[in-house]
């Protein structure tokens, strides 16, 4: 898998310092600054400590099964074009080297609902999806349109980390429709 994060720090230099500090006990394979410069901190075949507790598609221990990419962004604004261009190039290479399916390029929030929100509502998932670099939204027929049907649909789409209905709804919307709010709607079944 590939897990995409934002740094939530003032700048890339601060993030790099923290990600390379052994006392912080956090790392990632790559950091991409807002200007598009890519810094590799951990070899792809090695474990980095970027994901923490969570699950995707019924698989846990994500740190052992993923490559973590940190994007220099506080989560409060869109990601720059040079940064997204660099991410796309990096993803193409990683996905080819490790035979990673687009559906296994996820956000930190996807695998840790309620605990994490990155890469956040300003991240352009549709841009990656158009290029086959992230799984596209698909309609799921769970047999109905109530909360239990939605949970089944979300789990079929990969959102298997344990959480309550409201957290799951917020998490799937963060990925697929960050502008949507209110009660469960039929559009929420497109995951």
Domain CATH code at residue 36? 3.40.80.10
Please, what is the average pLDDT of the chain?
Answer: 96
Residue 70 among the catalytic residues = yes
pLDDT digits (tens, 9 = 90+) for 120-129: 999 999 999 9
Between CA 168 and CA 150 the distance in angstroms is 9
Between CA 116 and CA 145 the distance in angstroms is 27
Q: Is the pLDDT of residue 143 over 90?
A: no
pLDDT bracket for residue 146 (50, 70, 90): very high
- Select which of 70, 88, 103, 129 is catalytic: 70
Shared domain check, 169 and 95: no
Position 139 in a domain: no
Position 75 in a domain: yes
Between CA 89 and CA 92 the distance in angstroms is 5
Structure tokens at 190: 């497109």
- Judged by phi (left if over 0) then psi (alpha if -120 to 50, else beta), residue 39 lies in beta
Shared domain check, 123 and 176: no
Q: Is the pLDDT of residue 184 over 90?
A: yes
pLDDT bracket for residue 144 (50, 70, 90): confident
Shared domain check, 45 and 99: yes
Between CA 110 and CA 4 the distance in angstroms is 10
Shared domain check, 160 and 81: no
pLDDT digits (tens, 9 = 90+) for 58-99: 999 999 999 999 999 999 999 999 999 999 999 999 999 999
Position 140 in a domain: no
Please provide the distance, in angstroms rounded to a whole number, between the alpha carbons at the two ends of the chain. 18
CB 51 within 8 A of CB 116: no
């Amino acid at each position: 898998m590939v897990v995409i994060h934002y740094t939530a720090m003032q700048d890339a230099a601060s993030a790099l310092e923290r990600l390379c500090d052994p006392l912080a006990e956090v790392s990632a394979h790559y950091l991409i600054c807002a200007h598009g410069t890519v810094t590799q901190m951990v070899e792809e075949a090695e474990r980095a400590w970027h994901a923490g507790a969570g699950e995707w598609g019924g698989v846990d221990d994500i740190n052992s099964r993923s490559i973590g990419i940190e994007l220099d962004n506080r989560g409060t604004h869109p990601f720059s074009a040079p940064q997204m261009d660099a991410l796309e190039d990096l993803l193409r290479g990683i996905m080819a080297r490790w035979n990673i399916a687009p559906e296994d390029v996820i956000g930190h929030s996807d695998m840790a609902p309620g605990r994490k929100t990155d890469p956040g509502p300003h991240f352009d998932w549709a841009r990656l999806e158009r290029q086959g670099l992230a799984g596209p939204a698909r309609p799921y027929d769970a047999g109905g349109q109530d909360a239990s049907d939605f949970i089944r649909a979300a789990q079929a789409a990969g959102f298997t980390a344990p959480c309550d209905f409201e957290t799951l709804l917020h998490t799937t919307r963060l990925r697929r429709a960050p502008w949507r709010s209110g009660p469960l709607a039929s559009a929420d079944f497109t995951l």
